Amino acid sequence: MSPTSGGPTTRRRWWRETVVYQIYPRSFLDTDADGVGDLRGIGHRIDHLADLGVGALWLSPIYRSPMTDFGYDVSDHCDVDPLFGDLAEFDRLLGRAHDRGLRVLLDWVPNHTSVEHAWFRESRSSRSSPKRNWYVWRDPAADGGPPNNWVAAFDPDSPAWTYDGRTGQYYLHLFLPEQPDLNWANPEVESAQHDVLRFWLDRGVDGFRADVVHLIGKDPALPDEPPERASQSRVGYHHEPRTHPLLRRIRGVLDAYPGDRAIVGEINLHDSSAIAEYHGEGDELHLAFNFALLRAGWNARRWRTAITEVVEAYEPVGAWPTWVLSNHDEPRHVTRYGSVARARAAAVALLSLPGTPFLYAGEELGLSDAAIPPHLRVDPGGREGCRAPIPWERGPDHGWPAEPWLPWPPSAGALSAEAQRGDPTSTLELYRHLLRVRRSSEALRAGTFAWRDAPPDVLAFDRGAEDDRRAVLVNFAASPRSVAMPGAWEIDASSRRKREGQAFGGAVSAEEGLVLRPSR
């Protein structure tokens, strides 16, 4: 495995070195007793975020929305939904975050809007509407059905088209019928979305997470899927060359601003080489999500394959990897792996790999998915479990002023931030320690990467930068493993918080992650 090009000579850019923390605002902290988290609640917990040691926050959508897809169906890109507060509240939160050295990324949803958006209401009003071509309208097929065989992401049994009787045409929606796709081939759409970016960049936002941004370029012929893919949503494999010039112009909007504004794209493809293409020549996305590790499960071999694939795909094109284990769309990794011990060991690798790690609110507390009774199931993708409210205090209300919109995650009291703060054995203090270790090590932040020989169920790799070296060992086995480490090493961090500062004797405990440094 050739070391990555991420060595100390690489130009220092904040988005290459900082750890980003995703906040799902409706579940973070409520302050106006409506049971839904809000911007003021994030402000009340800004110390938790600064003390954790992350460097940037990514807020899932806070815009006006009917909430059919919980904010990813935007009805006004340039206003805050009253559920979360208002623009003045956002400006206050942005100021508080910047005062604590935290950058703020907003979740930009370029591919589609809500059916309630003024743009779509105008577009659907008539075939001669000046905004008709802002969305993807087509005549029915010869049999009167949808124009092609594309299916919708949340319901592959349904077409990605909805018929509009008033104008006798279908409109495209790769997600819900309530989320019509914008037509990015129309320069007016591109210009309007660039203005959305400028609206928030002018307010001081440090950048964006761009929702399914790989979908914005489309072949105007909208050809049928081949039979073998006819029942699959395009989200997982839509890889359209027409997207790249659009991304270069989006990047141009950000580059026109001072302060190193950055954009991370959600590219839901499964091929890391394809994802790396969205880096362009360094003139498209700064970063792109890669879900290879999130999809790898608790298995050393699959982790090794995923990491190798990403590093080998990104290094030749100068792309900078990202790593993520949980987000608002997938079951939390404590639930997926089956234990907090495994999740803590995984965090050691997550925060030591070459690239930018993304944390999902609550993973620093070791939260697992909440059990959601049928009558509280409200999400079109069934993703409520990972979106349960964050418990801040031990007491039964866990620091929330009213009953939250979803049930609490398991052990909410014992896993609350209050219960864990200051307990050196807690998951919260482990994350704070791992972030401290990362901040103290040029090797972990920006160094080279190389695999190290180890037993098959131990993930072992080296990081190096000039005179700073670290070795990372993660034992995926349910019993201890020995790893020969020539030279003298000491334990910088252990997911079990055992033996830290002591000499490493060669044994890695069951389901333990270690960061080692040469003995001082």
Report the residue from 69, 277, 363, 462 that binds ligand TEU according to the rule CB under 6 A.
69
Residues in the chain: 520
Residue in 178, 206, 266, 384 annotated catalytic: 266
CA end-to-end span of the chain? 28
Cβ distance to ligand TEU smaller for residue 153 or 493: 153
Distances (CA, A) of 94 to 4, 201, 205, 206, 365: 35, 12, 7, 10, 24
213 φ/ψ angles, rounded to the nearest 5 degrees: -70, -15
**Residue selected from 21, 28, 72, 120 as contacting ligand TEU according to rule CB under 6 A:** 72
CA distances from 226 to 83, 147, 237 (A): 43, 15, 13
**Measured from the CB of residue 116, what is the shortest distance to ligand TEU in angstroms?**
15
Binding of ligand TEU by 212 (CB under 6 A) = yes
Q: Decide: is 178 part of the binding site for ligand TEU (CB under 6 A).
A: no
Binding-site member from 268, 272, 368, 426 for ligand TEU (CB under 6 A): 268
Query: Dihedral sign, CA of 3, 312, 53, 461?
Result: negative
Among 225, 240, 309, 329, binds ligand TEU (CB under 6 A): 329
Order of strands across the sheet with 287-288?
A: 287-288, 262-265, 207-210, 103-108, 56-59, 20-23, 356-360, 322-324
How far apart (Å, rounded) are the C-alpha atoms in residues 103 and 58?
Answer: 9
CA 174 centroid distance within chain: 20
Least spacing, CB of residue 153 vs ligand TEU, in Å:
5
**Identified binder of ligand TEU from the candidate list 38, 89, 211, 315, rule CB under 6 A:** 211
**Amino acid, res. 192:** A
| Contact letters for ligand TEU, residues 21-60 (x by CB under 6 A) | ----------------------------------------
- Tokens found for residue 194: 């660039």
* Residue 34 a catalytic site member: no
**Cross-strand bridge partners of residue 63:** 80
Q: In angstroms, give the least distance from the CB of 234 to ligand TEU.
A: 10
Is the torsion defined by CA of 228, 232, 237, 240 positive or negative? positive
Cβ-based nearer residue to ligand TEU, 179 or 475: 179
CB of 212 to ligand TEU, least distance (A): 5
Residue closer to ligand TEU by CB (options 161, 175) is: 175
Closest CB to ligand TEU among 178 and 492? Answer: 178
Least distance (Å) between residue 239 CB and ligand TEU = 14
Closest distance of CB 60 from ligand TEU, Å: 7
Rg (CA), the chain: 23
Cβ contact 495:341 at 8 Å = yes
**Residue with CB nearest ligand TEU?**
72
Closer residue to ligand TEU (CB): 84 or 461: 84
Q: Residue 272 interacts with ligand TEU (CB under 6 A)?
A: no
Is 473 a binding residue for ligand TEU by CB under 6 A? The answer is: no
Which contacts (CB < 8 Å, 24+ apart) does range 303-311 have? 303/349, 303/459, 303/474, 303/476, 304/451, 304/459, 307/353, 307/459, 307/461, 308/1, 308/451, 309/272, 310/272, 310/355, 311/1, 311/4, 311/354, 311/449
Single out the residue of 93, 153, 348, 419 in contact with ligand TEU (rule: CB under 6 A): 153
Alpha helices, DSSP H, located in 279-402: 300-314, 333-337, 340-350
Q: How is 101-163 classified by DSSP, letter by letter?
A: T-EEEEEE--SB--TTSHHHHHHHH-TT-TTGGGB-EEPPPTTSS-SS--B-SS-TTSBSEEE
In which order are the strands placed within the sheet that holds 169-172? Answer: 137-138, 169-172, 161-164
**Nearer to ligand TEU among residue 268 and residue 416 (C-beta):** 268
Q: Is 91 in the site for ligand TEU (CB under 6 A)?
A: no
Q: Residue 331, interface with ligand TEU (CB under 6 A)?
A: no
What is the size of the binding site for ligand TEU (CB under 6 A)? 14
Residue nearer to ligand TEU on the CB measure, 17 or 266: 266
Query: What's the CA angle centered on 480, arms 476 and 482, to 5 degrees?
Result: 100
Residue 182 has which token pair? 């914008």
In the complex with ligand TEU, which residue's Cβ is closer, 120 or 504?
120
Pick between residue 329 and residue 429 the one whose CB is nearest to ligand TEU: 329
Options 67, 205, 235, 293; binder of ligand TEU; rule CB under 6 A = 235
Binding characters for ligand TEU, 238-267, by CB under 6 A (x = yes): ----------------------------x-
211 is catalytic: yes
175 binds ligand TEU (CB under 6 A): yes
Catalytic residue among 17, 69, 211, 512: 211
Interactions with ligand TEU, residue window 375-394 (CB under 6 A): 381, 383
Active-site amino acid positions: 211, 266
Residues that bind ligand TEU (CB under 6 A): 69, 72, 109, 153, 175, 211-212, 235, 266, 268, 328-329, 381, 383
